[in-house]
């Protein structure tokens, strides 16, 4: 390859990289915008009063209109089935996806859980929303003893779709007895800590101003 050809190729690669950064850069979600929190009992707020659920606390912290779309017991497949109607009804600017814990507890095939989580995120993106994915701890013997580790599928999906990921948020809460209502649900203090952690992730990702 000639020096001129090499330079032209390098410029083309840099241009493509710039386009990719612009395409995947997060846009700040303004106060008053609708944000959909999709999930299971941890999103619903089981173990605490309704006003203490993390979507309610996050709304106070950010000024967003956070819709609590958490259904206790929901699997990733059930959340995926609910999503189209929720997107049509609320037209959110941002979707926070926190699902999969019940899949792990029921020992459903991990490949199906991953496919469902990815499909949820893709549907939200295709509807014009941004997505913030929340990692959920894997169900292990050590998790029952308070040693929580995020399931790797969440980092894989976030990397593939180029979306921000909330890491260790639930693990840090559920590992502490003083932040839990029971072994798998937070109490009011736990949900408040998770909401603050999620707020920090949103700021770091460019979804929320400092």
Tell me the CATH number for domain 30-205: 3.40.50.1110
Cβ-in-10-Å burial (0-12, 13-18, 19+) of 5 comes to exposed
Q: What is the mean pLDDT of residues 9-13?
A: 40
Tell me the angle at which helices 152-161 and 110-126 cross, rounded to the nearest 10 degrees.
30
Report pLDDT digits (tens) over 23-69.
457 999 999 999 999 999 999 999 999 999 999 999 999 999 999 99
Active site amino acids: 41, 182, 185
pTM equals 0.86
Give the domain ranges of the chain.
30-205
Contact (Cβ atoms closer than 8 angstroms) between residue 150 and residue 135:
yes
**70 in the Ramachandran plot: left (φ > 0), alpha (ψ -120 to 50) or beta?**
beta
With pLDDT > 90 as the criterion, what percentage of the chain qualifies? 80
- Order of strands across the sheet that contains 34-39: 65-70, 34-39, 94-98, 130-134, 165-166
Report pLDDT digits (tens) over 94-148.
999 999 999 999 999 999 999 999 999 999 999 999 999 999 998 644 444 456 7
Q: Is the pLDDT of residue 2 over 90?
A: no
DSSP string, 126-143: HTT-EEEEE--B---HHH
């Amino acid at each position: 390859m000639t020096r001129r050809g090499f330079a032209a190729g390098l410029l083309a690669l840099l241009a493509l990289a710039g386009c990719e950064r612009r395409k995947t850069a997060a846009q700040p979600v303004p106060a008053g915008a609708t944000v959909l929190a999709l999930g299971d009992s941890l999103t619903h707020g089981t173990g605490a009063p309704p006003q203490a659920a993390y979507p309610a606390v996050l709304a106070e912290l950010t000024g967003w209109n956070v819709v609590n779309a958490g259904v206790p017991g929901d699997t990733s497949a059930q959340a995926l089935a609910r999503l189209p109607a929720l997107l049509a009804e609320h037209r959110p600017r941002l979707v926070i996806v926190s699902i999969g814990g019940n899949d792990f507890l029921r020992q459903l095939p991990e490949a199906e859980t991953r496919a469902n989580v990815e499909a949820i995120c893709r549907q939200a993106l295709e509807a014009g929303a941004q997505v913030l994915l929340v990692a959920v701890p894997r169900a292990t013997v050590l998790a029952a003893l308070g040693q929580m580790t995020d399931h790797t599928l969440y980092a894989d999906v976030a990397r593939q779709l180029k979306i921000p990921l909330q890491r260790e948020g639930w693990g840090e809460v559920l590992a502490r007895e003083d932040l839990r209502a029971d072994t798998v649900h937070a109490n009011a203090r736990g949900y408040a800590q998770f909401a603050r952690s999620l707020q920090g992730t949103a700021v770091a990702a460019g979804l929320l101003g400092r």
